[in-house]
Amino acid sequence: MRVRNNDALRGENLQYLFTILFILGFMAFFVFVVLIILSIRKHNRIPIRYVILTAACFAIASIGMYGMLTLPSTPLQSFGTDHTEKHESNASGFHMTTVEFKNKFNGAVGKYRLNGLSITRLDMKDSSEQSTGVFEYVFNDKLRLVGTLNSDQKVQEVRLYWTGDVNEPTGGIFLTAIATLILTTNSEYTYNDAQDVIQVMGILDRDVSQSDFDGATVRNGYEYRFSVEDHDLSTFEITVAK
């Protein structure tokens, strides 16, 4: 559960303020109207101060009512705007260069002491025939990382390819690499959060040796998917959720 942000609290405080202004202003307005009526009956005249105070109270009550009517729509509008901006910001990719991606990946490796997974140098592929670039890193003869770049040369999506017998349980360095990649795209995640994503995809709680296995989940605007595409090829990919 997230703690309500300052904008939400500020909105509630303003709501209380406008309500108090309306109630007090309306009550004072009513009192001065009664005083004006009594003054007319008793003295056959209207004191100028009553007129001024009545107008002021009416203005205060009007401000309070206006605030009460317009303020409730603000949080919904803000939420819609924030949601749209977040969706649009994710739409173009991970918003990190290959250097930033490598640093974040290696940062997760170092933080959780995931030995054997550090990236030394990403291999940039020739992208002269396509609008987006491609990079690759080979960890060993079974595990490799492939990513694509958008037109701004920012990381668009990434995939891990594992070549091995699908009849054997998935584990070891492949699962560790999957967790590291999840941590790379979610800087606020802990290793337990990454394991939770893996669990939700179904990798840990069922046999993934079936050739048609396909598990996925969406977190923070990104889709995480694990699939067995061939008899000896498993893929984990992170893409922008649609």
Q: List CB contacts of 96: < 8 A, sequence separation 6 or more.
A: 104, 154, 155
134-138: strand order across its sheet: 123-125, 134-138, 143-149, 155-163, 233-240, 222-230, 214-219
Distance CA 92, CA 150 (A): 7
Q: What is the pLDDT of residues 54-98, one digit of tens each?
A: 888 888 888 878 777 776 544 434 434 444 444 444 444 578 999
**Residue 100 pLDDT greater than 80, yes or no:** yes
Tokens for 111? 């933080």
Average pLDDT value over all residues in the chain: 77
**Residue 16 pLDDT greater than 60, yes or no:** yes
Domain boundaries, the chain: 6-84, 98-240
Amino acid 1: pLDDT: 35
Predicted model pTM: 0.58
Amino acid 106: pLDDT: 93
166, 228 Cβ separation under 8 angstroms: yes
Amino acid 88: pLDDT: 43
Amino acid 82: pLDDT: 45
Q: What is the pLDDT of residues 198-242, one digit of tens each?
A: 888 877 655 555 566 778 888 888 899 988 776 678 889 998 887
What confidence category does residue 146 fall into, taking pLDDT thresholds of 50, 70 and 90? very high
| pLDDT > 70: percent of the chain | 75
What confidence category does residue 168 fall into, taking pLDDT thresholds of 50, 70 and 90? low
DSSP string across 73-138: HHHHHHHHHHHHHHHHHHHT--S--HHHHHHHHHHHHHHTT-TT------EEEP-TTSSS-EEEEE
Amino acid 163: pLDDT: 86
Phi, psi of 58 (to 5 degrees): -65, -40
DSSP state of 47: -
Tokens for 45? 């005249």
Amino acid 147: pLDDT: 93
Bridge partners, 61 (sequence order): none
Amino acid 212: pLDDT: 63
CB burial readout 220-235, b (16+ within 10 A) else e: eebebbbbbeeeeebb
Q: Averaging pLDDT over each range in 3-12, 81-90, 111-120, which range is the top one?
A: 111-120
Type of residue found at 4: R
Distance CA 121, CA 136 (A): 9
Q: Where are the alpha helices (DSSP H) in the chain?
A: 6-43, 48-70, 73-91, 98-111, 173-185, 191-201
Amino acid 126: pLDDT: 64
Q: Which of 2-11, 123-132, 154-163, 195-204 is the least confident region?
A: 2-11
| pLDDT > 90: percent of the chain | 18
* Average pLDDT value for residue range 137-142: 91
Amino acid 119: pLDDT: 92
Amino acid 158: pLDDT: 94
